[in-house]
Amino acid sequence: MSAMLDLTLKIWRQDGPKTRGAFKTYHLKGISTEMSFLEMLDILNEQLIQLGEEPVAFDHDCREGICGMCSLMINGQAHGPETKTTTCQLHMRRFHNHDTIVIEPWRARAFPVIRDLVVDRTAFDRIQAVGGFVSINVGNAPDGNSVPVPKVNADKALDAAVCIGCGACVAACKNASATLFVGAKVSQFALLPQGQAERVQRVQKMVAQMDKEGFGSCTNTSECEAACPAGISVEMISRMNLEFLKATVVGAT
In tens, the pLDDT along 182-241 reads 999 999 999 998 888 899 999 999 999 999 999 999 999 999 999 999 999 999 999 999
**Looking at residues 3-22, what average pLDDT do you find?**
96
Instruction: Count up the domains in the chain and report the number.
Output: 2
If phi over 0 gives left and psi between -120 and 50 gives alpha, with beta otherwise, what is residue 94?
A: alpha
- Residue 72: helix, strand or coil by DSSP? coil
The percent of residues above 90 in pLDDT, for the chain, comes to 87
Rounded to the nearest integer, the mean pLDDT of the chain is 94
Model confidence pLDDT, tens digit, residues 141-163: 777 677 788 999 999 999 999 99
- 154, 137: one domain: yes
CA angle at 185 for the pair 112 and 90, rounded to the nearest 5°: 60
Residues 37 and 135 in one domain: no
Residues 208 and 125 placed together within one structural domain of the fold = yes
Q: Coil, helix or strand for 133? A: coil
Whether residues 143 and 54 fall in one domain: no
Q: Which amino acid is at 213?
A: E
Residues 125, 110 share a domain = no
Under 8 Å between Cβ of 78 and 172: yes
Task: Indicate whether 172 and 106 sit together in one domain.
Answer: no
Q: Helices 199-212 and 122-131 meet at what angle, rounded to 10?
A: 150
pLDDT score of 251: 66
Question: Which CATH number do you get for residue 191?
Answer: 1.10.1060.10
d(CA 244, CA 231): 23
Query: pTM here?
Result: 0.92
Query: Looking at residue 83, which CATH number applies to its domain?
Result: 3.10.20.30
166 shares a domain with 57: no
Q: How far apart are CA 119 and CA 69, in angstroms?
A: 10
- Residue 1 pLDDT greater than 70, yes or no: no
> 74 with 193, same domain?
no
Q: Are residues 38 and 141 in the same domain?
A: no
Choosing from 114, 144, 179, the residue where a domain stops is: 114
Residues 248 and 165 in one domain: yes
Angle, helix 122-131 to helix 179-190, in steps of 10 degrees: 30
Q: Which domain holds residue 76?
A: 4-114
Q: Give pLDDT, residue 252.
A: 53
Residues 15 and 133 in one domain: no
Final residue of a structural domain among 63, 94, 114? 114
Given 91, 114, 137, which residue is the final one in a domain? 114
Q: Is 185 helix (H, G, I), strand (E, B) or coil?
A: helix
Same-domain check for residues 163 and 209: yes
Beta strands in 33-112 (DSSP E): 73-74, 77-78, 100-104
Give pLDDT, residue 26: 98
